[in-house]
Structure 1
Amino acid sequence: NTSLSCHMYRKPCLGVCGCQLLYNLALKKTAVQSSTSGTVGIAGKAVDGNRDANYQSGSCTLTNAESDPWWRVDLVNVYTIGTVMITNRQELENGLDGHQVTECAIISHIPKGQAFYFPCNSVKGRYVTVFLPGSAKVLSLCEVEVYYGQLLYNVALKKTAVQSSTSSTVGTAGRAVDGNRDASYQRGSCTLTSGQSNPWWRVDLVNVYTIGTVMITNRDELENRLDGAEIWIGNSTKISDPESNRCAVISHIPSGQAFYFPCNSVKGRYVTVFLPGSAKVLSLCEVEVYYGKPL
């Protein structure tokens, strides 16, 4: 996953829902919590890189009901923390209300299944703790991400998207720019074309941007469907235009994962995902487009 080595120019974030950050310091680090309910909701589920907000799919932590439950990750080194991101469960919407991220923020409310960012004013530390004061409380987190970098803006978010065809009323093109990385088609978060030759999906960024990176989230089933897909950027809706540039060819994205593809600062208004071949089906769970230069 090239997200771990990707660096891009920064500018102020224009909206929390469209922001992406640099390196997640908490990813795959050791996490502990005050207690664990059952065998599924272990502390490490919140740093596994999976924002799936469904507890039943095994992506979220869960403590017992107790007084003052807490969850903590060890970053190993001391960092200047700029932002912490919390993903709430899609059920138990109010379960995180009142949680405190130590010396950073108090969580007033996060809508169910959503990921919210909390600026931490460059606090230095090695440990990040989420603490819920009170008696008979249950702490459940689907993902905790810790960043030292600035916020970056996803220029594709909520923009107009179209595709070569649409299979059923669920898999519309706009599903890939709704800000939801949920990799389950059944929950209405992914696009889907009919079986056809050379299917494509395209987003109109409205303005011309210097694009550093495109991120693609693959479905959690039918893992190999995106193999061989191409990412194109240009100022024409046609990828055959001489000024259109191919950013990357997707060799493989594991099921349910989000992979970044550096685009060498290509300029363009339209970003197209094109899958060459006959009897192909194109399905995307999220496409994010970031301006700037990749490293």
Structure 2
Amino acid sequence: MSFLGGLYSALALYVQIAAKTAYHEDSIAASCTCNASVKGEKQKLRRTVTQSSTFGTWVGEQAIDLNPSFIQPSSSCSSTDIQTNPWWRVDLHYIYRVSSVVITNRLDCCPERINGAEIRIGNSLENNGNNNPICAVISSIPAGVSSTYICNDMDGRYVNLFLPGDSRFLTLCEVEVYGEVSIARWGTAAQSKLFYDWYTQNALDGLSSTCSHTTQTDQWWKLDLMKMYSVNRVTITNRLDCCESRINGAEIHVGNFSSDNNNNNEDSCVPSIPAGATYSYSCCGMEGRYVTVNSRRNSRILTLCEVGVYVIFQVIQNYLTTWSKPFPVELYFF
């Protein structure tokens, strides 16, 4: 099974088996782990680079080789030939919410060639992608310097550098794109108690029509991300059919404590979410391995139809180390 278009794969299976009474109120649970070895995998990301022309051996892919070497720029930087309106484009093959773009200029000469270049982000290939919305216009970058341009969460599959004008070279020694990635499905979820077949993992299955559900009050739902991340935001989708007020007053916690579900830093309190709606709560880079939603404040049953956890990654790099992990599947016998 795979997530995010196959970038991250779960190679192990965690099975939880619970025997329940006829009234579905109590359970006796047993668990086993099958093929639970965890290993790192260096996976090549699919990224396609195109530029309007190529000067000598300065091919477009050298702008994303993670090597902004200034000793031999011809083997580590991209450059178009001299032309009118040169451009460079990377196809990320997925739509990302882009927070920033970092451009590294060449050191050896000609730093002024980058002046006036436009960073464009979007989903259209009209005019080779050069008509997409503008994130920023580069006034100048000193020789050998990396400059960051904030894109305010623009959504797009294509990132273009477009340099308007006649007789221009477009030279890029490195391009980095930082975008938001959902990591909730990389983790393993648990909750305080199960109501009927409203399984814990329903909050992570991508379907707002299936939800997790606890019994009793003062309940919690917890996601173990398997390692610490700087969390950008958390989203919660409320149930549509009824009882939308049950989420009112729920707390979102992010931190590194696994045993006490109230001890991690409180990120947000959920005042209310309309039936069937998805609301986003900013975490401002709060660090933690565990994301917990609890009803300690409102003493209500906790129902979650979807939980999203988002972090900022460098999404343009050629390789990304991923980790196989147990994926929870709950089997219940009545």
Give TM-score scaled by structure 2 length: 0.43
Q: Which has the higher strand share?
A: 2
Larger of the two Rg values belongs to structure: 2
Considering Cα pairs closer than 8 Å and 6+ residues apart, tell me whether 1 or 2 has the greater RCO: 2
TM-score (ref. length: structure 1):
0.48
